Structure 1
Amino acid sequence: MLPPEDDEGFTVPEQLPLYQKGREIYSLTKKIAGLIEEEDEVLSSLKECMLFDASLLTVKVAGAEAADLYDLRMENATFIRKAALDLLSHCTSLEMFGYRDTHYLPLLREALEEYRFLFIDWVQGFDPWNYVNDRWGLFNPPGVQAQDPDDDSF
């Protein structure tokens, strides 16, 4: 299935299932974080981290769709993966540091698992032949090597 496009042929991130699930996760995270008492410094710090990580699940999808190039899409995908894994870790941290409303955390974990499957499908849709060579060698498509290290361009 092709991603939804606007009149000019550009993908509309807001219409992607991955983006929509990311918004759902942000909303759920915001509600869970809203139950944290401000007086608890540790939990308040976790709250900020959770909201930041949850926001990346949509922001980086939009960035990847705007970039279109394989290497830039993979770079954004890396940030998304890290943010999702960090959100899962934050759930455990909340439990460890005395968060009262732990019965909501399975909802977030389940939503992140659904997001993971959407993420896998989304990444598999990247065009590996629409790329600029990543001279650092990290985000090149399979089989593409980093440029000669003597090349003066960064």
Structure 2
Amino acid sequence: MHEEEDDHTINPEQLPIFKKGKEIFDLTSKITDLIADDDDRMLCNYKEFMLEDAAMLTVKVAGAEAADLYDIRMENATIIRKAARDLMTHCSGLEMFGFKETQYLHLIREAIEEYRLLFIEWVSQFDQWNYTIDRWGLFNPPGVGPHDHDPDDDLT
């Protein structure tokens, strides 16, 4: 792992939110390993969904850090939020479909709550003024609309 790639770019692997996301993935992987390949098909599907959602918690942090632009960072943050919430829902699904080792699911839930708090701090540090106008209107900083004139258009 690199401490810093240059003076302005932090290696995402050094961020607390990335480290917690990796911890959640490892934990999810260990818990879902308790689902045998020959278990109920629904349980096996949940296993795949959970691993995919848990992976998003690091992958999309890295994507947001690489992009740097506010709208791209917010888009990645939205995917992270959805993945974390889906992971929580999948824990309940496992319980409903007969997963026998439910005593471990609270570990995922607790880790996601810790992740949520790190997420709030991480998002609050996004630079709202480093943006391109999101013409879809979802991820513009406050006061910027999808139909606003982009001063960069005057440069061409």
| Common fold by TM > 0.5 | yes
The whole-number CA distance in structure 1 between the counterparts of 2:74 and 2:10 is 16
Q: CA deviation at 1:8?
A: 4.2
Amino acid at match of 2:55: S
SS of residue paired to 2:143 = coil
Name the CA distance, whole Å, in 2 between partners of 1:62 and 1:11. 10
Aligned identity (percent) is 64
Q: In the alignment, does 2:39 pair up with 1:37? A: no
CA–CA distance in structure 2, aligned partners of residues 139 and 9 of structure 1: 23
Deviations 1:18-74 (A, max 9, x none): 000000000000001100021220000000000000000000000000000000000
Task: Output aligned runs, 1:1-154, within 5 Å.
Answer: 5-39=4-38, 40-147=40-147
Q: Could you list the runs of 5+ residues in structure 2 that have no partner in the other structure? A: none
Cα separation, 2, equivalents of 1:71 and 1:5: 24
Root-mean-square deviation (CA, aligned residues, Å) is 1.6
Partner amino acid for 2:36?
Answer: E
How far residue 86 of structure 1 moved from its aligned partner, in angstroms, is 0.2
In 2, Cα distance between equivalents of 1:147 and 1:130: 18
Count of aligned pairs: 147
Provide the rounded CA distance (Å) in 2 between the counterparts of 1:59 and 1:74. Answer: 14
Q: Distance in 2 between matches of 1:11 and 1:54?
A: 22
Aligned-pair CA distance for 1:112: 0.2
* Counterparts of 2:7 and 2:59, CA distance in 1: 21
